[in-house]
């Protein structure tokens, strides 16, 4: 485990922080069970918001979100304990949940174009997210890539919410492989991207996003705004990919 000084140094230098031994085997088993329940909800028209993508082996669940108020165990996990402690330490004050999701990245599931999260997270200008890996995230399974050194400020971004080619080329990208039990916290200005999952196993991860509690609680407003955007624009993005976000950064294919 890093000391709090080492953690703050890593955060300030990179815009992300890797925490070891954060979730034990029992906690992981509970999260896996909960995610299986979300998966069943997605195919049975159950609660939550779910997005599918086309893969070479057929349609696959790409993302579930908006489950913290309807899944008791996940609600408790995302609103207290190790994740909110880590985010609170990075924000320097208590954290409030802004949004929550699971990205499943099944075999052949799409990656994400280089982006910063900040433009898609309206209402407040700064967030911290935590990736909670449920399966190993490796280069082959489509782990996150970051560009250490850029920790603040918006880079040049196109109308889709993707970093411009010049911005992408100016950064020194590094894969950050993670395994279940670890947490990867990252700033909403940390540039990141990921690739398709080329393995035969899903690469599931929770992504939990928070803002400083003193700025207010915007989760309801965020999801109401997303409902409005999707009602207006539909589930296919202007570039023809599946739309899972306010930004057009997901590279997954629409279900045929």
Ligand X SMILES: O=C(O)CCC(=O)C(=O)O
Q: Nearest distance from residue 4's CB to ligand X, in Å? A: 27
Which residue lies nearer to ligand X by CB, 65 or 74? 65
Three-state secondary structure readout of the chain: CCCHHHHHHHHHHHCEEEECCCCCHHHHHHHHHHHHHHHHHHHCCCCCEEEEEEECCEEEEEEEECCCCCCHHHHHHHHCCHHHHHHHHHHCCCEEEEEEEEECCCCCCCCEEEECCHHHCCCCCCCEEEEEECCCECCCCCCEEECCCCCCCCCCECCCCCECHHHHHCCCCEEECECECEEEEEECCCCEEECCCCCCCCCCEEEEEEEEHHHCCCHHHHHHHHHHHHHHHCCECCCCCECCCCCCCECCECCC
Q: Which is nearer to ligand X, 74 or 251 (CB)?
A: 251
Cβ distance to ligand X smaller for residue 91 or 161:
161
What are the residues binding ligand X (CB under 6 A)?
103, 105, 111-112, 117, 142, 144, 192, 194, 205, 207
Q: How far is the CB of 3 from ligand X (least distance, A)?
A: 29
Q: Nearest distance from residue 193's CB to ligand X, in Å?
A: 7
Q: How far is the CB of 141 from ligand X (least distance, A)?
A: 9
Nearest to ligand X of 167, 205 (CB atom): 205
Nearest residue (CB) to ligand X, 7 versus 113: 113
Residue nearest to ligand X (CB): 194
């Amino acid at each position: 485990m890093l000391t709090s000084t080492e953690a703050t140094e890593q955060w300030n230098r990179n815009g992300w922080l890797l925490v070891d031994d954060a979730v034990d085997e029992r906690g992981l088993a509970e999260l896996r069970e909960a995610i299986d329940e979300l998966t069943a909800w997605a195919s049975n028209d159950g609660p939550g918001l779910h997005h599918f993508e086309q893969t070479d082996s057929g349609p696959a669940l790409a993302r579930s979100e908006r489950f913290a108020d309807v899944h008791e165990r996940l609600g408790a996990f995302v609103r207290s304990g190790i994740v909110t402690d880590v985010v609170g330490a990075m924000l320097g004050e208590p954290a409030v949940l802004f949004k929550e999701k699971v990205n499943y990245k099944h075999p052949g599931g799409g990656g994400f174009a280089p982006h910063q999260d900040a433009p898609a997270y309206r209402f407040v200008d700064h967030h911290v997210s935590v990736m909670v890996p449920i399966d190993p995230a490796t280069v082959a399974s489509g782990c996150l890539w970051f560009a250490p050194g850029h920790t603040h400020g918006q880079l040049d971004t196109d109308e889709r919410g993707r970093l411009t080619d010049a911005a992408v080329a100016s950064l020194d990208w590094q894969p950050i492989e993670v395994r279940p039990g670890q947490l990867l916290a990252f700033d909403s200005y940390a540039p990141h991207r990921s690739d398709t999952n080329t393995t035969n196993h899903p690469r599931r991860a929770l992504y939990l996003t928070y803002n400083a509690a003193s700025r207010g609680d915007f989760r309801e407003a965020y999801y109401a705004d997303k409902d409005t955007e999707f009602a207006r624009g539909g589930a296919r993005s202007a570039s023809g990919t599946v739309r899972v976000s306010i930004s057009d950064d997901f590279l997954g294919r629409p279900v045929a």
